Structure 1
Amino acid sequence: MTFTRYAIYFAPPAQADWTQFATNWLGWDMEAGTTAAHPEVAGVDVASVTEVPRKYGLHATMKPPFRLHDGQTVEALDEACARLAATQPPVTLDGLEIARLGRFLALRTLGDETALNALAAACVRDLDEFRAPATQAELERRRANGLTPEQDANLTRWGYPYVMGSFRFHITLSGKLSKPVLTVVEQALQAQLAPLLPSPFRIADLALMGEAGDGRFHLIQRYALSG
C-alpha cells in the first residue's frame, strides 16, 4: 500500500477490552485496515459524532502526520523508529479518564506526565529529518486558527503547533459537538467506556502509521519501548 503521509502514534493494545470498544465507537480499525461496526448507544448518533476523527483511528499522536522529506525512504524511517524505541523506556501513568477538550471528548491521562511528555518530544525531535517542510499554505492554515507565540514557534520549527511545551496527550473520541450533544455523549461514554479503562495505564510501544489515498490511517509497524 502506498501512503501519502506518515505519523508516530501511541496505538492502544488491540486485544484490550477498552481498545475494542473505542475502536468500534470510532468505526475504523487502523490495525486491521477495515471499518468497524459502531456500538448501539441509545440517544446517540455514533456515526455522526465520530465522523471527523474516524479516519485517524484510535490513537494519541506522538509525532504529527508529515510527508516524507526528499531523499528519505520508508525503510530508513522504519529503522529510525526502531532505534528510537530501543532508547526509550515504557511509560506508566495512573490511568485514563474521559475528558472534555473544548467541545471535543477525549481520553486523557491521570498522573505525572513528565516521562510521557519526554517520550513525545523525542519522537518529534529525533525523527524530524524525515519530515518534509510545511508548505506556506499549511503554515497559513494553522495560523488562521490563532496561535500563541510558543505554538507559532513550534509550527515554524517542527511543522505543527501543539508539540513540545504545547503537547497534551489525548485520544480523541469525537468531533466538535454542541453542548447538549456533548453532555449526552459524555454520559454514554462514562457508562460504557469508563469502566473498561486501564488503571494503571501503560505505554509499551510506539506505532508507525501511514495515511492512504482515502485519508485513512493504517498501522504499519509497532516498536517496543525497551530503553
Structure 2
Amino acid sequence: MRYAIHFTPSPNDPLTHAAAAWLGRDVYSGQTVEPPAVSSLGMQEISYHTALPRRYGFHGAIKAPFRLMDDVGEAALLRSLMHFAGTHQPFTLPPFEIAKLGNLYGLVLSWPSEALNFLAASVVQEFDRYRAPLSDADIERADPDRLSATQLTNLHRWGHPYVMDEFRFQMILTGGVVPADCVRVERAVRGVFEPVLDRQVEFSNLALFVEDEPGAPFRVHSLHPMGRVSARKIA
C-alpha cells in the first residue's frame, strides 16, 4: 500500500464534479462517472487521453506517493496528519488556469502562492519520517539521468525530485498528447473546465490518498481540515 498527501477540492466543489466527469472517476467514491459531451473529442478519445490522471485521481501533489516504514502503522500517520493540518491555517489559492505542461494539459495557478509553497515544504519535511526508503527500482523509474543536480539530491533526500525550490503546483488532466491532437484536446479541456475557473478556491484540507495495491487507482482515504487546533486555542 502507498500513501500520498495532496490537495483536492472538497467533494461538493464544482471543480471536483468537472474533474470527475472529465477523468471518468470520482476520486472520493471511486465510482465511474460518465464523461462530458464535448464537440472536439469522442468518449473513447477522452478515456484514452485521461487514462493516467484517472488512476492517480484529481489532485495537486504535495507529498508524492510513498510506502510506510516497516515500524509505522496507518493510525500513526493519520494522527500526525490530523494534528499537522490543525496547526496550519486555511488560505485562498490564486485562480486556476489551463496550461500545457510539456505534452500534458493541466491546471496551474495564475501566480505563485507563498502560503502554498511554505505548506508544501513543511509537509514534505514533517512526513518524511514515515516514508520507507526508495528502492533501486523506484530511483530508476524517476529517470535520474534526466534530473538536475538539485532534483537528484531531492530524490535521494526527500523521495521525489520536485520538492522544495523545485516544487511547482499543478493538477494534471491528461496523459501525453501528440502534436496532431493538441488543438482538439485543449479545446475539450477548456470547454469542460473554463466554466468552473472563474473563482478562487480555498485550500482548507489536506487529503490523504491511498493506493490499496500496486497499480490500483488512488482514492481519497480522508480529508484533514486545516485550522482546527488554532481555532480551539483562540476560543
Q: Deviations along 1:140-162, whole A, 9 cap, x unmatched? A: 22134600111001001011111
1:216 equivalent in structure 2 = 217
2:34 equivalent in structure 1 = 37
Identity of aligned residues (%): 36
CA contact (8 A) 2:40 2:187 kept: no
Q: Alpha-carbon deviation of 1:180?
A: 2.6
CA change 1:81–1:198 in 2 (3 A) is: farther
CA contact (8 A) 2:104 2:173 kept: yes
Partner of 2:3, secondary structure, is strand
2:233 equivalent in structure 1 = none
2:201 equivalent in structure 1 = 201
Partner of 2:58, secondary structure, is coil
Q: What is the aligned-residue RMSD (CA, Å)? A: 1.4
CA contact (8 A) 1:143 1:152 kept: no
Partner of 1:34, secondary structure, is coil
Partner of 2:112, secondary structure, is coil
Structure 2 stretches lacking a partner, 5+ long: 231-235
CA contact (8 A) 1:31 1:218 kept: yes
Q: Deviations along 1:202-221, whole A, 9 cap, x unmatched? A: 21110111102242112111
CA distance in 1, matches of 2:188, 2:24: 16
Deviates more, 1:115-124 or 1:88-97: 88-97
1:89 equivalent in structure 2 = 89
Q: Deviations along 1:151-195, whole A, 9 cap, x unmatched? A: 001001011111111111111100000123122111222233112
Deviates more, 1:202-211 or 1:177-186: 177-186
| Number of residue equivalences | 224
CA contact (8 A) 1:104 1:182 kept: no
Kindly indicate which of the two structures has a greater share of residues assigned to helix. 2
Structure 1 counterpart of 2:6, which letter?
A: Y
CA distance in 2, matches of 1:185, 1:140: 31
Kindly indicate which of the two structures has a greater share of residues assigned to strand. 1
Superposed structure 1 runs of 4+ greater than 6 Å apart: none
CA distance in 2, matches of 1:11, 1:74: 21
Map 1:44-55 to 2 at 5 A: 44=41, 45-55=45-55
Map 1:145-224 to 2 at 5 A: 146-213=146-213, 214-224=215-225
Q: TM-score, with normalisation over the residues of structure 2?
A: 0.91
CA distance in 2, matches of 1:63, 1:18: 21
CA change 1:111–1:93 in 2 (3 A) is: farther
Q: Deviations along 1:101-145, whole A, 9 cap, x unmatched? A: 111000001233111111111111101111000001211221346
Q: TM-score, with normalisation over the residues of structure 1?
A: 0.94
1:71 equivalent in structure 2 = 71
CA distance in 1, matches of 2:60, 2:145: 21
Q: Alpha-carbon deviation of 1:100?
A: 0.8
CA distance in 2, matches of 1:111, 1:102: 19
Structure 2 counterpart of 1:117, which letter?
A: N
Structure 1 stretches lacking a partner, 5+ long: none
Q: Deviations along 1:31-76, whole A, 9 cap, x unmatched? A: 0122222112223211011011111111111100001111000000
2:131 equivalent in structure 1 = 131
CA distance in 1, matches of 2:145, 2:12: 37
